[in-house]
Structure 1
Amino acid sequence: MKTANRSDIGRIRLVNEDRAWAELTAGGIGVAIVADGMGGHQAGDVASQLAVDTFREVMSSVSGELTLEAAKTLLRQAILQANEVVYELASQNDHYHNMGTTVVAAMLLQDSGVVGHIGDSRAYKLRQGELCQLTEDHTLVNELAKSGQISAEEAASHPRRNVLTRALGTDREVEVDIKGFSWKEDDLLLLCSDGLYSMVSDEEMRLTLLESELDLDGRAERLIEQALHAGGEDNVTVLLVHSDSGEGQEG
């Protein structure tokens, strides 16, 4: 497994509230997470960091092989534990009132993977030149689009497209969407904050990920550059995981 992790504050924001982390566990399981924080008084970066730290702590205890169902259960538990940690701090400290974060996380086994998410950070899988979105945004605009009240074109430019219907840490109880998917050699997983896909189209992302002259780090850098060139209106984070039989890790 190879990984590349890149993040940029963007051209408008004063603080980078995105956080990301990826690692291959001692048991040979790939784990990765991207969190996009929100909240006043710079609380967003606290929420996203707490979520990543909690997730990392849970995943550090993983050893040996897991079944797909066991991985789904563990991923859900890790995200719910992060929700509890963020919610408790926000509840006990006025400085962090109402802080929260999106989260998208994945566990990669030998021939399958699991993705879990809350909010509008996304996971995509590239296989044989085709880019497939694995997650579904928890946003007001996505709900309107699903119910047919607005078109996909209207959703892309809707003034309330950033309004979340679900976030980590804002409520004591939260629902996590968990999804299994197949995972083969040479597959590429992209986890990203909305600062990427709101600026860069799926087709542009697909073409960049297919650029064979760029290594994994180079492709992550290129995606960041494209988001900045398009306006960089938000923090932008890109985490790539490549299913590679060779040893070593980038990023």
Structure 2
Amino acid sequence: MIIANRTDIGRVRQVNEDSLWVEQLPSGIVAAVVADGMGGHLAGEVASRMTVDSLQATISGAAAGLTNEECEALLQTAIKQANEVVYTTASSNEQYSNMGTTVIIALVEGERAVIAHVGDSRVYKANADGLVQLTDDHTLVNELVKSGQITAEEAAVHPRRNVIMRAVGTDPEVSADVSFYTLSPSDILLLCSDGLTDMVSHEQMVETLLTESLDLDGKAERLVSLALHAGGDDNITVVLLQGDANRIEGGTLQ
């Protein structure tokens, strides 16, 4: 598995509230996590880092060959434990009151990718057929779009487009959406915070991810650069994963 990742504070924020973790585990499974924190002064940074640290502690021992049901149970347990850590900290410390974070997790073993998410950070799959979003935003505007009350175009400029309906740490309990996908060696998985997707168009992401002249590391670098060039209004985090069966050059082999 080839791995590339970048995180950037952006051009507006005073602190980077995004956190990430990506690693090939002793079992051979590749695990990747992106969390986008929210809250008052430094609280978002604390929430995202606590969540990533908790998830890493739980997931690092994942065994190879787990069934889909076992993978889902592992990820739900990991997210519930992270939620408890963040919620307890927020409830007992006034400075962290109401802090929370989005989170996306990808576990890749062979051709199988297991995706879990809470919030509006996203996972995409890119290949010669284009770019497909694999996660469903837990946002107010997405619920309005799904119910037919507004269009996708209206959602993009809606005044409450940043209202998140589900997050880690904001409530005593949380449940993730978990889904399963089959990957081919040429597929690229993109995990990202909304600092990328709010700034970079679908077409720009497709063009970047399918550019043959760039290795995986170069693609991650270009995606972040595009977001910065568009204004960099938020923290930007990108993780790219791609199978190496075709001996694709570049990236970071973990």
> TM over 0.5: same fold?
yes
Letter in 2 for 1:33: V
Distance in 1, matches of 2:184 and 2:83, equals: 31
Letter in 2 for 1:250: T
Q: Is contact 1:129–1:206 with CA below 8 Å preserved after alignment? A: no
Moved more, 101-110 or 73-82: 73-82
Task: State the partner residue of 2:148.
Answer: 148
Runs of 4+ aligned residues of structure 1 deviating over 6 Å after TM superposition are none
Task: State the partner residue of 1:158.
Answer: 158
Please show how residues 14-163 of structure 1 align to structure 2 within 5 Å: 14-163=14-163
Deviations 1:58-78 (A, max 9, x none): 111123322222212211211
Distance in 2, matches of 1:111 and 1:96, equals: 40
Distance in 2, matches of 1:28 and 1:65, equals: 10
Q: Is contact 1:123–1:134 with CA below 8 Å preserved after alignment? A: yes
Q: Secondary structure of 2:190's partner?
A: strand
Distance in 1, matches of 2:10 and 2:214, equals: 23
Deviations 1:29-87 (A, max 9, x none): 11101000001021100000011101111111123322222212211211111111111
Task: State the partner residue of 2:215.
Answer: 215
Gaps of 5+ in 2: none
* Offset of residue 150 of structure 1: 0.8
Q: Is contact 2:76–2:175 with CA below 8 Å preserved after alignment? A: no
Q: % of aligned pairs identical?
A: 57
Please show how residues 219-230 of structure 1 align to structure 2 within 5 Å: 219-230=219-230
Distance in 2, matches of 1:51 and 1:88, equals: 12
* Offset of residue 103 of structure 1: 0.4
Letter in 1 for 2:123: A
Over the aligned positions, Cα root-mean-square deviation in angstroms equals 1.5
Letter in 1 for 2:231: G
Task: State the partner residue of 2:235.
Answer: 235
* Offset of residue 249 of structure 1: 6.3
Letter in 2 for 1:3: I
* Structure 1 residues 76 and 57, CA gap change in structure 2 (3 angstroms): same
Task: State the partner residue of 2:185.
Answer: 185
Q: Is contact 1:6–1:221 with CA below 8 Å preserved after alignment? A: yes
Q: Is contact 1:125–1:190 with CA below 8 Å preserved after alignment? A: yes
Moved more, 188-197 or 59-68: 59-68
Deviations 1:189-230 (A, max 9, x none): 000000101111112101101111111111001000000111
1:175 aligns with 2:195: no
Distance in 1, matches of 2:128 and 2:182, equals: 13
Q: Is contact 1:75–1:106 with CA below 8 Å preserved after alignment? A: no
Distance in 2, matches of 1:138 and 1:121, equals: 9
Deviations 1:124-168 (A, max 9, x none): 011334211000101111111111111111111112111101111
Moved more, 16-25 or 121-130: 121-130
Q: Secondary structure of 1:11's partner?
A: coil
Count how many residue pairs are aligned between Structure 1 and Structure 2.
251
Q: Is contact 1:68–1:112 with CA below 8 Å preserved after alignment? A: no
Letter in 2 for 1:172: P
Letter in 2 for 1:61: G
Q: Is contact 1:129–1:210 with CA below 8 Å preserved after alignment? A: no
Task: State the partner residue of 2:252.
Answer: 250
